[in-house]
Structure 1
Amino acid sequence: MEVFLQQLINGLTLGSIYGLIAIGYTMVFGIIGMVNFAHGDVFMLSAFIALMLFVVLTQLLGMTSIPLAFVIVLIGAMVLTALWNWAIERVAYRPLRGSFRLAPLISAIGMSIFLSNFVQVVQGPRNKTIPPMFDKVIHLTTGGTYDVTLSLKQILIVLVTAVLLAGFWYLVQKTSLGRAQRACEQDRRMAALLGIDVDRTISLTFVIGAALAAVAGVLYMSYYGVVNFSDGFIPGVKAFTAAVLGGIGSLPGAVLGGLLIGLIEVFWSAYFSSDYKDVAAFSILALTLIFMPSGLLGRPEIEKV
């Protein structure tokens, strides 16, 4: 039982990170119908931005308050990563929006390769580490054969994910930007005729998705304490899988899918071989799509004629 509880905590933590990245995939796909395969590398770039900001604050400027440094790093990473993704949308995606459907997909793959190689050249191929943050551990059970622990980092990750999910659900459902996003999702041409600035709405969607990926990058860096230029691929694929599993286009579905992928991974690693955890996750995805093609919380797509 102790092992089960510990892996449940670990799975929720990992799944929360996947869920934050998956929201970026599902928001972009919901509005323009494009899978932004560079989103995983935007997440990786945000982790390196956070690492550099943390080093500057703690080593060059001598800041000793870790919580304050964490908040500054989080805000700085969100702003800088959002600017990066805004530029990517303007340069790599907007000119191809009216082209054939595969053109933006090819451009996204090319941007993914560019970002990965850019970070590799600038930062080098080796792992980059940071000093431990929020290392305090709460022992939930003691005295048994296995102690169940809960770290402050894990609490922070789950709480941040819950707050951001609630905040962006409110943004999409209750604000003028959210109404513009939902209008563009249904019919961009009609939305433009009604006076909605479609280009601005799409750009803001990319900015919001990048900001969420930056939060995930900062949490990932603080949780594992190490980042690498290749960290964008596997988490990006897992997050895309989570978005599809939960129902791509649904914000709660993206987070639900992320939690499920995280739980499947850690439980499979604990009770079976960790070498096949990815196989288990993708097998569950395949089975879900066979019986529920729209995902767990997705809506069937209606073809407009």
Structure 2
Amino acid sequence: MSGYLLQQLVNGLTLGSLYALVAIGFSLIYGVVRLVNFAHGDLMMIGAFSTLGLVAVGEVAWAFVPLLVMAGGFAAGGVIERLAFRSLRGAPMITGFIVTLSASVAIQNLGLMILGAQPRNFGFPSVFRERLALGPVNIAVIDLAIPAATLLLAGAVVLFVQRTRLGIAMRAVSENAVAARLMGISLNRAVLAAFGLGGALAAIAGLFWGGKFGQIDPLMGFVPGLKAFVATIIGGVGSVPGAVLGGYILGFAEVAFVGFMPSEYSGYRDAFVFALLILILLLRPQGLFGREEEERA
């Protein structure tokens, strides 16, 4: 039983890390523009298929693939901001909600048209498939690599936001966009940085998702994206540490539901996740690290 419990803890840590990577992007974007980007999860698909394309070319060393995938995710996030979000600044939240859902559907259908609906096998370096003996269980290297990469990237984002000029500009825009503009801060640059960073993290999450589960498809990012949004709400929208903590809480809760409930209930894992969302909204709408504030017009 101890071995089984340890294995479930590792599974929760890995799944929570994937949710956390995507949730950080949700928090960054909402913190700057006060809109929820429901097309954000689809950048996981772009990252996964970008990886597949780079590997198929055969001339790119695996050591450089994650960097190129993150660069592609940054660019994709910037394109989404320029085409779908820039014209929405100051619009009611419901308008942004509709537009981002439309962008998500457009990305998914474009992926289906170009890539087809058939799932693709996702190759990953064999070293990540090796298993290490840790006490009573054997753990795959990728199950250790994903949390390590997530914590490293989360720490880098926090340092970027707190220590760099562009990060400070993003925080200023988050606090008061009008005052930040009067102080000479470029609103477009700060918003683009938020979308780009979020896109880079979602793209690398897509790479890890494919490496963990072995298959990818054009619709793979929608449900994990929604769950990452739930993680964002749990931690507190706009808080990077809250997004990370929310991702891990959700990952452990989902794995515990599947691992310790009777098998006939395992198919209801998604219902459990969104029931948890309702519970959080009822008990603490601002999340664990969020703060109450008046909605901006």
How would you bin the TM-score normalised by the shorter chain?
over 0.9
The answer to whether the 8 Å contact 2:44/2:207 transfers is no
Q: Which amino acid aligns with 1:234?
A: V
State the shift of 1:284 in Å. 2.5
Residue 17 of structure 2 corresponds to residue 3 of structure 1: no
Distance between the aligned counterparts of 1:12 and 1:34, measured in 2? Answer: 29
Aligned to 2:31: 30
The answer to whether the 8 Å contact 1:17/1:258 transfers is yes
Pick aligned residue for 1:139 from 133, 136, 141: 133
Structure 1 stretch 190-199 or stretch 104-113: which is displaced more? Answer: 104-113
State the shift of 1:302 in Å. 4.3
Aligned to 2:237: 248
Once the two structures are aligned, what percentage of the paired residues are identical? 37
Residue 181 of structure 2 corresponds to residue 192 of structure 1: yes
Residue 204 of structure 2 corresponds to residue 215 of structure 1: yes
SS at the partner of 1:139? strand
Distance between the aligned counterparts of 1:303 and 1:56, measured in 2? Answer: 48
The answer to whether the 8 Å contact 1:136/1:151 transfers is yes
Q: CA RMSD in A?
A: 1.6
The 1:169–1:136 alpha-carbon spacing in structure 2 relative to 1, beyond 3 Å, is same
Q: Which amino acid aligns with 1:98?
A: G
The answer to whether the 8 Å contact 1:42/1:232 transfers is yes
Pick aligned residue for 2:278 from 263, 282, 286: 286
SS at the partner of 1:150? strand
The answer to whether the 8 Å contact 1:45/1:115 transfers is no
State the shift of 1:131 in Å. 2.9
Distance between the aligned counterparts of 1:18 and 1:274, measured in 2? Answer: 19
SS at the partner of 2:138? strand
Pick aligned residue for 1:75 from 47, 67, 81: 67
State the shift of 1:282 in Å. 2.2
Q: Which amino acid aligns with 1:190?
A: A
Q: Which amino acid aligns with 1:298?
A: G
Distance between the aligned counterparts of 1:108 and 1:287, measured in 2? Answer: 25
Distance between the aligned counterparts of 1:101 and 1:46, measured in 2? Answer: 28
Aligned to 1:261: 250
State the shift of 1:285 in Å. 2.6
The 1:303–1:78 alpha-carbon spacing in structure 2 relative to 1, beyond 3 Å, is closer
SS at the partner of 2:10? helix
Pick aligned residue for 2:77 from 85, 105, 113: 85
Q: TM-score, normalised by structure 1?
A: 0.91
The answer to whether the 8 Å contact 1:24/1:213 transfers is yes
Q: TM-score, normalised by structure 2?
A: 0.93
The 1:303–1:121 alpha-carbon spacing in structure 2 relative to 1, beyond 3 Å, is closer
Distance between the aligned counterparts of 2:293 and 2:138, measured in 1? Answer: 43
- Residue deviations 1:245-303, cap 9 Å, x none? 11111101111111111111111111112112222222223222222221111112246
Query: Equivalences for 1:61-140 in 2 at 5 Å?
Result: 61=59, 68-69=61-62, 71-133=63-125, 134-140=128-134
Aligned length: 291
* Unaligned ranges ≥5, structure 1: 143-147
SS at the partner of 1:229? coil
State the shift of 1:209 in Å. 0.6
SS at the partner of 1:231? coil
SS at the partner of 1:39? coil
SS at the partner of 1:230? coil
Distance between the aligned counterparts of 2:124 and 2:214, measured in 1? Answer: 6
SS at the partner of 2:38? coil
State the shift of 1:101 in Å. 2.9
Distance between the aligned counterparts of 1:91 and 1:137, measured in 2? Answer: 44
Distance between the aligned counterparts of 1:126 and 1:177, measured in 2? Answer: 41
State the shift of 1:103 in Å. 2.3
